[in-house]
Structure 1
Amino acid sequence: MLISLSQSIGGYLYEVFIEKLDVWLVLGLFGQMLFGARFIVQWLVSEKEGRSVIPLAFWFFSIGGGLITLAYGLHQREPVIIFGQALSIFIYVRNLMLIGRARRRGDGKDSASR
């Protein structure tokens, strides 16, 4: 039973990551890695500050990863990815706009001060 399960999982992973390997899959994976990197950046900055901080780089990683993942979703015709990323990108850009407005006012209370 374990051997059969192992072979099934191996076959699935081979099909998903090897047989379907193309430029779009690589681009989609890159977008996901870029998107995931934002959490590492946020964690490292928060550890350094000793408090929860959302650095400015978090939003840029979010936008970059979101745009690349959206392009992948559009090409693959994946409505869940398209809907999720299109809405999210709007929110990330809006957060940058709010941070910019706070900085122009001289309000040092925004959490993205890095």
Structure 2
Amino acid sequence: MTALFDWLNTVFIEQFNFWIVLGFIAQALFMMRFVIQWIASERVGRSIVPVAFWFFSIGGGSLLLVYAIQRQDPVFIAGQGLGLIIYFRNLWLIFKEKRRDPTI
């Protein structure tokens, strides 16, 4: 049990700094996209993906990418980098469609 407490102290107390705070803020933003999607879907009674989902994806993904770069984690950097491309592309497609049909 002492080993567990030592590990928790190392991970959550000794390492605590600006970058850990940024990482938690980024993760909270990223998580909010699912909360937004869930609330929007509950309101209409079917699964939908609102535009706010993509904005939270970009916000959280960007901060998580900064965090991953600072931590020098190649897996995390590649994952967030690719994700950002997809989020921006989805927003581009949504806005392109709205320009063609402003009633959407």
- Indicate the TM-score class for this superposition, using the shorter chain for normalisation: over 0.9
Residue 21 of structure 2 aligns to which amino acid in structure 1?
A: V
- TM-score, normalisation: structure 2: 0.94
Code of the residue aligned with 2:52 in structure 1: it is A
In the alignment, structure 2 segments of 5+ residues that lack a partner are none
1:50 is matched with which residue?
45
Residues of 1 paired with 2:53 and 2:47: CA distance? 13
Q: Which residue of 1 aligns with 2:22?
A: 27
SS in 1 for 2:49: coil
Q: In the alignment, is residue 91 of structure 1 matched against residue 91 of structure 2?
A: no
State the one-letter code of the partner of 2:32. A
Q: Distance in 2 between matches of 1:40 and 1:79?
A: 28
- Deviation, 1:13, is 1.8
Deviation, structure 1 residue 107: 7.1
Aligned residues: 104
For residues 60-75 of structure 1, the aligned pairs below 5 Å read 60-75=55-70
Q: TM-score, normalised by structure 1?
A: 0.86
The partner residue of 2:4 within 2, 9, 16 is: 9
Structure 1 consecutive aligned stretches of length 4 or more whose deviation exceeds 4 Å = none
Identity among equivalent positions (%) equals: 47
Whole-angstrom CA distance in 2 between matches of 1:39 and 1:48: 14
* Match among 30, 36, 40 for residue 41 of structure 1: 36
Unaligned runs of 5+ in 1: none
The more displaced of 13-22 and 61-70 is 13-22
For the residue of structure 2 that corresponds to 1:21, the secondary structure is coil
Distance, in Å, in 2 between the alignment partners of 1:49 and 1:8 is 49
